[in-house]
Amino acid sequence: MPALPQSPIYDELLDLLVESADVDRLLTFRLRPDHQSRLDELLERNRDGLLTVAERDELGEFERLEHVGRMLKARLRQKQSP
C-alpha cells in the first residue's frame, strides 16, 4: 500500500489525542467484530478483483483510519519511552 499523504491536520489531531486521551484504551483499540468482518470481506473482494467503486472507497477509508491509528499508537509509545 502506498504511503498516505501527511496533512498538518493529522499532526494536530494526533497531538491532541496523545496529550488528552486514555493511553491504555487507545493502545489496545481493536475494531468491533462486525467492523473487522466487513474489513475482511472487503480485503477478500479486493484480492479477487471484485470491489465496486463504493467498496473501494470504503476500503480506502479503512486504510486511512488504520494509518492514523498506527501513527497515534507510535506517538503514544514514543511518549511513554524514558
* pLDDT tens-digit readout, 30-73: 999 999 999 999 999 999 999 999 999 999 999 999 999 999 99
Give the mean model confidence (pLDDT) for residues 74-80.
90
Q: Which residues contact 80 (CB under 8 A, 6 or more apart)?
A: 23
pLDDT of residue 4: 56
Helix, strand, coil percent values for the chain (each to nearest 5)? 75, 0, 25
The pTM of this model reads 0.80
CA distances from 58 to 2, 5, 30, 44, 70 (A): 17, 18, 18, 13, 18
Neighbouring C-alpha atoms within 13 Å toward the C-beta of 59 = 17
pLDDT of residue 37: 98
pLDDT of residue 60: 96
The domain segmentation of the chain, as residue ranges, is 8-80
Report which of residues 12 and 38 the model is more confident about: 38
